[in-house]
Structure 1
């Protein structure tokens, strides 16, 4: 029974990764990490410079994570319907989409932080309300 589920096309990386991204984006949006020392949150070199950058980075990462998660869930459902078995191309598409999603979340958030803050961590532009 469990083997049949694991080998079906409904058990794919895009669907599972998309659900994880949706959950992560929801949790960070509704329960944002309070400080840089919190055990969860968007943690990179830029986002841990100061508290203001930490808050902005987590806000952007949560938004993008929900968007990427939605796209991955849709892709996972489409792949599950289109493919009749877990072939090589099925794996390339579903795993590749998750890797591209992670790279996009990180790249977009780092780009937003570098545009919004200067080298010393001071805000260049006023925050959006």
Structure 2
């Protein structure tokens, strides 16, 4: 019997109290749940191409919005964040490549990566930058 994965729910611990970022994280969770459903319903081969498409479109939109916000604050370590964004895109492209080669564990590996990325992303935001974004002060 295959392992069933739990759907993701928005948690107060995810909240940064910055509407645009919180909205983007909620969209990310919705995409995670599409992947969970595909795995649980044994429809990965059928659904994962659309999931990759949604994930890449979301990342492009989210990363652009985040970078525009953070450019206002030199303390935001924007260079590190842009590198994280590039690394994320490269990792997703690698997962897509693995999928095209019919590697069996791709869906659960992708889910594990996305889960870790979401939690680390939210937990590792520069606290000073979040303060600036919340208060609108430099």
Please confirm whether the aligned pair reaches a TM-score higher than 0.5, indicating the same fold: no
TM-score normalized with structure 1 length: 0.43
Higher RCO (C-alpha under 8 Å, 6+ residues apart): 1
TM-score normalized with structure 2 length: 0.41
Bigger radius of gyration among the two: 1
